[in-house]
Amino acid sequence: MREVDPELVITFGPDHYNGFFYDTMPPFCLGLGAFGLGDYGTPTGELDVPSELAEELAGYVQGEGWTSPCRVGWVSTTAPSSRSTSSSAGRHPPDDPRLRQRCRRPFVPMSRIRALGEAIGRWAAGRPERILLIASGGLSHDPPVPRWATAPGGPRGPARRAQPDARGAGRARAARRRHRACLRRGRGRHQDLNPEWDREFMRICAAQDTAAFDAYEAGEMAAEAGNSSHEVRGWVAAFSALGATGRYEVGYEYYRPIRHFIAGFGVMTARREDTPR
């Protein structure tokens, strides 16, 4: 953050049942405002979202044929803000968070995720600000979260109805703690991580070959990398957005499968090749 010194940040991240539920769940949401929940020690309170720019972005993508619901969104740890990533930079550039509920069925094709990212990238390319894209989510993981088809009774309610007090997030954290305990005892019932899948996904991102993600099918992703591997759609959108502005190069890459945390963890940084150093 200090090196880039962005004037605007666009974030891509999952909603995790904090703002949307099965009773009203659009495939995409552009946040005209955002509020930090403070889970996992992240910032709380209203975030600095430039609503006029957010509305301009919404108008741009709608002009390209998209119907993008606009509303105030909830920003959680997996949809990071500049406040949660720039504490050492001494300043917090405004966020234009694009919050997308993307890890629950039914899924839109990955080609649409790529096309949406490219549309956002074309908008960003026409802006005078220094813009930073941040994506969060994934990689391979299969945590114990509510699933509509297989979790009748209690779990359906939290997934279907809004809970303004974010109790659903607390239940999810409790479920993850139980799952980690099962793994330590060797009794984990959920799908294991897939480091090979994760590394191949990151390789495609680094190669600026995001069109290859069009072949990723939802059922195959779940079978190979877990039901929550669909969170990588945030990566696909962000790298597609960056690629739409020109050729890019990866400056840093790290990956580690951490079974205790129920996820494959990866970090990548990239910038346009013509970006001044």
pLDDT at 269: 96
- The dihedrals phi and psi of 30, each to the nearest 5 degrees, come to -100, 120
Assess whether pLDDT exceeds 70 at residue 223: yes
Beta strands at 263-272 and 248-258: parallel, antiparallel or unpaired: antiparallel
Map out the domains of the chain with their CATH numbers. 8-272 (3.40.830.10)
Strands across the sheet with 8-13, in order?
Answer: 98-99, 8-13, 131-135
pLDDT at 257: 95
pLDDT at 235: 94
Comparing CA positions, the residue from 244, 49, 253, 7 lying closest to residue 139 is 253
Assess whether pLDDT exceeds 60 at residue 271: yes
Percent of the chain residues topping a pLDDT of 70: 65
Cα separation, 261 vs 85, in Å, equals: 21
Name the pLDDT band for 88 (thresholds 50, 70, 90): very low
pLDDT tens for each residue of 25-74: 677 778 787 777 776 677 777 888 888 898 899 889 888 887 655 554 44
Assess whether pLDDT exceeds 50 at residue 185: no
pLDDT tens for each residue of 135-154: 988 899 988 765 656 545 55
pLDDT tens for each residue of 95-134: 655 545 445 667 889 999 999 999 999 999 999 999 999 9
pLDDT at 94: 63
Cα separation, 11 vs 60, in Å, equals: 17
pLDDT at 200: 97
pLDDT at 93: 63
pTM given for the model: 0.80
pLDDT at 78: 41
179 token code pair: 């799952």
Residue whose structure tokens are 């962005």: 6
pLDDT at 46: 80
